[in-house]
Structure 1
Amino acid sequence: MQFRSPGPFFIILTLLSAHAMCQSLKPGLEGMSPSKWLTIRRTQAPGKTYRFNSTDTKRFTQEEYFMRAWVPLVHSKKVAVLLGPNYRAEQLEFKSSGENPVSHMEGWNLRTFALDLNSIVKLDSSSWFIFTSQINKSGDFGRLLWKEIPMNYTLSASFLRRKSVNKEVGLGVMMNKSFKITVLPVFIFNYNFSNNAGLEMILPKKIAFRKNLTPSDIIYFKSEAVSRTYYLNQLNSDALGVCRRVDIDMGMSYNRKIGNYAGVEIFAGYRKNVSNRLIEGAVPVRTSGFAGTIELYVQPPKFKKKH
């Protein structure tokens, strides 16, 4: 796989926005994408090529499946807490002739089991505290036992304030512990240029320009960081190894609401590899190229307000 230790600026944050929060508590501007209560996503990035131990170049397609569901734990006028179990499976699908030099990473063995816990505290009509956390185990579950894979976690805390009907600004901090500990600042900026266009920014994760074609159709031109870390056995060694890649997805996505309960989002663009931590014996030849994603989602159920 395409891995090398990443620059910390591009580490993926857990969900910093409160898109999954109930409508009465949720920050966000008019026209932003709908909340996603249940998400099923498939991603493909074909054309990855590597050389292994001076052999011929081998070609792979990178495939990923992701699923997450949010479960409300607390819902009141001032506080909402959500629990989000999620699962990701990834593989390199061998596309060249001959023997696959990374056969031990085939067969949906690269998996992530994670649990998100997000909460939001409404201070007044225009201010919120947003807290997020995630714990996960990510690795080659085909060769490693659950207890052999270290636990990773991410924590963040942000303050968000709505300056006007068309502008929100937030600041915060996050800490990530995977194979090392990283602390980063967080900057949130949402701004509507008009009734049907806006900017959505969560740094260091995402920058997106939004165009609302209709109340149900949104087009985004965006740049978003994509980071993956997996623990696995090293080749010819019993020691635990770490594989990590950091990419930037740049392109266009189309979000379509289907009634009041569901929707679909499609992304197509260029995946630029930023850094790699490679498996032993692998030399990257071509690590950037096309990436496409299709996502189906269910919008959250409506909560009745308490009187």
Structure 2
Amino acid sequence: MKTFRKALIPFAFLPFKNIVYAQKKDSIPLKVRAFVADKFPQTRDFNLEFTQTTPYKFTSNLNGNELPENKVKDFHQVKANANIYFVKNRKWQLSTSLNYRYTSINTENPVSDYQQKSDYHYFSEAINANYFSKLFNKIAVYSASVSVDGSEQHFERIRGILTGLIVLKANPKTKITLGAAVFIDPSSQVPVLPIFTYEHKFDNGWVADILLPKKVLIRKNIFSNGRISFGSELDNTSFYLYRSDKTYEYRQVEINSGAIYEHNLGGYFIGTLKTGIRATPNARVFEKQESFKDYVFEAKYKPSFYFNIGISYNLFGKPKN
């Protein structure tokens, strides 16, 4: 169940990234709005990144039968996404999120349909609506998101997410929020996921940046236009498979631990380098109409080193001089 909860986390943060940005931008006091003007915003308006891992071994089973130990000789991925706003005012925000992910996996011994060299294309699109109000005399943000996803062949799923967030504390040094995401998804067994964010600026220049359950980081500005971070982030890989006239979904959760360096390249562009250890505790293939726990194939991967390079364009996150 814990792994299943993690598998749902990346879907939860599709609207939540917009919520965090929105509540900082238009709803919190003026003394905290400088947080939004940071040249490294939470939400990137346009982003392109490439990920490569070193080879790693794994064990697996198919329909309950153990398979011989295998090895992923090559795993690389390209991601592109955009967050576009249609309406932005003090009470409402309406936006769309467009995402594309290309995944290439090459295994050493393709002993089943799920362990062969394949290139996978995954698309998702979402409409997000955010509303800002007050609850118990605290700033509150309510969000509704409807998304569709699929492959290059056709659309596969429609999902819905409802999110509520309350700002418990917001001042120049500390920001704390608490909320929950409710999933409307036939494949989900976790109806509600709690969300907690904490940011604190220490006197020595380091900043604790926690967004549970997505990331735990400590970061600091370095040089004139750089920032370095250490910690762990959750990510996911999912795509659709077509076997014997049936549609399956492959889903895995990744825990990336290591260092992140971001550099303001001038204008609205930010370059990012990430490296460290990637742990993938569980990956499963299940029929589209079933849930994550009703799987036909499961793999457990050994940790590997990963490298990620990206560039983003942030029209709404104007860099400081």
For the aligned pair, the TM-score class normalised by the smaller chain equals: 0.7 to 0.9
Give the Å deviation of 1:246.
1.7
Residue 168 (str. 1) matches residue 169 (str. 2):
no
How much does 1:228 deviate? Answer: 3.0
Q: CA deviation at 1:203?
A: 0.8
Decide whether aligned partners of structure 1 residues 214 and 26 sit closer, same or farther in structure 2, where only a CA change above 3 A counts: farther
1:47-71 Cα shifts (integer Å, max 9, x gaps)? 1335688567343322221111222
Letter in structure 2 aligned against 1:232: L
CA RMSD, 1 decimal = 3.6
Paired letter, 1:40:
L
Q: TM-score, normalised by structure 2?
A: 0.75
Q: What residue identity is the alignment partner of 2:248?
A: G
Residue 166 (structure 1) shift: 0.7
User: Counterpart of 2:292?
Assistant: none
Query: Which amino acid is the alignment partner of residue 267 of structure 1?
Result: K
Taking only the aligned residue pairs, the percentage that are identical comes to: 17
State whether structure 2 residue 270 is matched by structure 1 residue 263: yes
Residue 253 of structure 1 and its aligned partner are, at CA, apart by 0.3
1:127 aligns with 2:136: no
Q: 2:95 aligns with which of 62, 66, 82?
A: 82
Contact 1:50-1:283 at 8 Å conserved across structures = no
CA contact (8 A) 1:48 1:62 kept: no
- Name the aligned partner's letter for residue 243 of structure 1: Y
8 A Cα contact 2:92 2:131, kept in partner: yes
Taking structure 1 as the reference length, the TM-score comes to 0.78
Q: 1:278 to 1:81 in 2, by over 3 A?
A: closer
What's the offset of the Cα at 1:26? 7.0
- Residue 36 in 1 paired to residue 36 in 2? no
| CA distance, structure 2, for counterparts of residue 262 and residue 71 of structure 1 | 16
Gaps of 5+ in 2: 61-65, 287-294
Cα distance in 1 between the residues matched to 2:249 and 2:196: 29
Task: Report the 3-state secondary structure (helix = DSSP H, G, I; strand = E; otherwise coil) of the residue aligned with 1:151.
Answer: strand
More displaced stretch, 114-123 vs 265-274? 114-123
More helix by share: 2
Name which of 192, 196, 213 aligns with 1:204: 213
Relative distance call for 1:54 and 1:272 in structure 2 (3 A) is: closer
2:239 — aligned with what?
A: 230
Distance 1:23 1:245, change over 3 A: closer
Q: Hey, what does 1:136 align to over in structure 2?
A: 148
Aligned to 2:74: 61
